[in-house]
């Protein structure tokens, strides 16, 4: 099976702009979780989507949002970008049910200037 894919891989945006990142999970995986990775804060959970519904949300401001489509692909959006939003954004997919393993995509490196 193909692994988790994310697009774009790199992105440079200006403060105040908004950005949309995309994640395609492993075929058959219906859960998609998003994480932010920074040198200072490490890996932090943003939110999780399952069957087009947000099931869990981390401690991030409302500028961070997401959605999931019927084919399980997910997008996350960050509005009104701040310099501190510069990070590697990772998504992870997992199968439904009792298998808890999450497999990560390569990430999108977002730089806000």
Partner 1 sequence: GENVEQHPSTLSVQEGDSAVIKCTYSDSASNYFPWYKQELGKRPQLIIDIRSNVGEKKDQRIAVTLNKTAKHFSLHITETQPEDSAVYFCAASSGSARQLTFGSGTQLTVLP
Binding site for partner 1 (CB under 8 A): 31, 33, 35, 42-45, 48, 50, 55-56, 58-59, 90, 92, 94, 98, 100-107
- What are φ and ψ of residue 22, in 5° steps? -120, 150
Cβ closest to partner 1, residue 51 vs residue 80: 51
Q: What is the smallest separation between the CB atom of 16 and partner 1, expressed in angstroms?
A: 29
Cβ closest to partner 1, residue 65 vs residue 106: 106
Helix residue spans in 31-75 (DSSP H): none
Q: What's the start-to-end Cα distance of the chain, in Å? A: 37
């Amino acid at each position: 099976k193909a692994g988790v894919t994310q697009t774009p891989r790199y992105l440079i945006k200006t403060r105040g702009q908004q950005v949309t990142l995309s994640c395609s999970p492993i075929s058959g995986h219906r859960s998609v979780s998003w994480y932010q990775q920074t040198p200072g804060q490490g890996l932090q959970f943003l939110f999780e989507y399952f069957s087009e519904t947000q099931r869990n949300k981390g401690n991030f401001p409302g500028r961070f949002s997401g959605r999931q489509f019927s084919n399980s692909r997910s997008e996350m959006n960050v509005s009104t970008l701040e310099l501190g939003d510069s990070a590697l954004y990772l998504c992870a997919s997992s199968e439904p049910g009792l298998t808890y393993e999450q497999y990560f995509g390569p990430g999108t490196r977002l730089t806000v200037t």
